[in-house]
Amino acid sequence: MPLQDDLSAIQRNLDDLVRGLASVEPQVGHTLDMRRVRTDADHLRESLALLRETTRGAAGSGRQDIVQVPDAPYDRSLWSDAEEEGLGARDRHAP
């Protein structure tokens, strides 16, 4: 699964980033910029977790459902109250 391998590599890099931030924070201090970077890193971790969940679900199914479209004509009653796009209703005229 190359996709899962890529996502795991991204997770490891994010973990390295968080560890790096933890080692830099005592030197930089608890500034607004440091909090912003930490918050961004946390958002990335949350987003990656959501991405992993969605790709796991999509990869697990393995296939998409195929919708069969019949060759027979549609029932005309389906379109009885429909308007032609750009042409308006049948009983009205263009200005």
CA distance 48 to 8: 10
- Express as a percent the part of the chain with pLDDT over 90: 47
pLDDT of residue 92: 67
Q: What is the pLDDT of residues 35-72, one digit of tens each?
A: 999 999 999 999 999 999 988 866 555 566 788 888 88
For residue 18, is pLDDT > 60? yes
- The model's pTM: 0.55
